[in-house]
Structure formats: structure tokens, C-alpha cells
Amino acid sequence: MNGEVAPGSVSSVPTRGELRGITVPGLLWRLHVARASGRLSLRSGALTKSMWMTYGQPVFARSNHPDDRLTERLRERGLLTREEFEAAQVAIEENRGRRRIGQILLAARLIPKRVLDESLHEQLLWILDSMLTWREGSWEFDEASSCDESVTLNVPMSAILMEGARNRLPVEQQWATIGQPDAVPALVLRGDRERALMSLEDDLRLYPSERLCLRRLGEGKSLRALLEDFETDERELISLVYTLRLIGKLALVEPTEAGS
């Protein structure tokens, strides 16, 4: 399976393993489909990133990487001045972990509640997105761990994975999962085809050019033939095929099978 999870293979929720044995996107989708609740932790050396899920939906994330800290994200976005950032660091150090950083910022009146909510939402997506490229290290899923500071995302998991494939995952890594370029992509749709396609477009939050690319996947042409079209962008096609296959909406058929 090249590190991916077969569509619908959710008979049990995994608990731990090495990232060499599974991709992070594949692991996240498996937990999402299983409607799992708990904490997924990734570790590589001294670096740790954790994400809490409720019924398969991401609700909170933490990281010990300096660039992932809430205050650092606020400073980079211009929502904290240098003086406010330094004041926040002092308040956080004095607090010694008794309260969440967000609560400290609110108590110090450094940011309003609306900005905090928006920033926690952005931070969750930032950390989640950065986890997608991890290929070395270990992972663990703890069903007993819950989060008391949840964030409601308005982005479907499928769209998060599509965004990661589109902008972060190396094309070579996606090709390694997809396999041979002579395979013929076949969409796996249920019910009315047009409605199913429109639903996919919305769920994945596809760009206009990606929507056109999605329609071409039903023409019976191999990936190689599709790429030979001068209008086809390789990253656009491969990221779409990778994501659709990951979420169980596309099968790759060998040329002999497709022609039989």
C-alpha cells in the first residue's frame, strides 16, 4: 500500500507505530473515517507535535517548535507589537503553565476574544498542515486524552488533505504512493454523477482549474496520457489523484484491466 491506508479500512483505530510504515495524511484520514477521539502525537528527535480529535475532527493542536507557538504566530501576523509580544512572554513565564496561553493573553488584555478565536483556528490549521510532510519518527494515538480548549474548524478533513497535497507534499512523494504513470484513474462515485462531482468539488474546495481536471479523470486515459496534454499541470493532476485515492474516491486501474 506504499504507506497509505486502504479506503474503508477502519476496523480498528491504530495506537502507535513508525512513520516509515504509514503516511501522516493516510493516518489522519483513517482516524477521521473511524470518527476517532483522542490525541495523535508525532515525535522526531526532540520535536513533538500533537493534535486532538473529536469524532474524527481536529479540535486543537500543540507543538514545541518555536515557530508554532501562538504568540509567535500572532507576532508574525502583526496582531502583537514587539512590546506586546515581550509582555506576553513575561506573563507566560510567570504563569508557569497554570493557565492556557490564550487565557493569559486575554487576562493581560493583549488581544480581544475574537482575535484569539481566529488565531487558535489559524494555529490549528498551521500545525496540522505542517504535520503532513513528516516521514521520519514515531506516532502514537491516545484515546484517553481529551482537550478542554477545542476549536471548531470550518474546513473538512478532505479539504485539509487536498491543501497539503497541493502546496506541501513533494510531487515525488505523491508519485511513490500513486505508482505507475500508465495506470488509468477511475472515479468512485455513488448516485447521480453530476451531483457527486459537485459534492467532491465542494468537499475538497477545488480551484476552478482543479475542477476541470477532476472532470477529465473520467475520460479513461492513463495518467501518462493526461500529463502529455500541454494544458495539464503535473502537480495539479497528481495532488488531485493522490487525494482522491486517499479518501477512497478514485481507483487506479492497470491498462490491461481498463481496456478489457
The per-residue pLDDT for range 214-249, each reduced to its tens digit, is 999 988 999 999 999 878 899 999 999 999 999 999
Domain residues for the domain of 78 are: 1-153
pTM: 0.82
| Residue range 30-53, pLDDT digits in tens | 999 999 999 999 999 999 999 999
Same domain, 141 and 104: yes
Q: How many domains does the chain have?
A: 2
9 and 27 assigned to the same domain: yes
Q: And the C-alpha cell for 104?
A: 493569559
DSSP three-state, residue 46? coil
What is the DSSP track for 193-224? HHHHHHHHHHHHT--HHHHHHHHHTTS---HH
Ramachandran angles phi, psi of 104, nearest 5°: -65, -45
**Per-residue DSSP letter, 12:** S
Pick from 104, 126, 153: which residue ends a domain?
Answer: 153
- The dihedral through the CA atoms of 134, 138, 141, 145 has a sign that is negative
Residues 98 and 170 occupy one common structural domain? no
How is residue 175 written as a grid cell? 508519485
Please indicate, yes or no, whether residues 144 and 164 belong to a single structural domain of this protein.
Answer: no
Same domain as 229, residue 148: no
- 196 and 91 in a single domain? The answer is no
Per the document, the length of the chain is 260
Question: Given 93, 123, 153, which residue is the final one in a domain?
Answer: 153
**Residues 139 and 166 placed together within one structural domain of the fold:** no
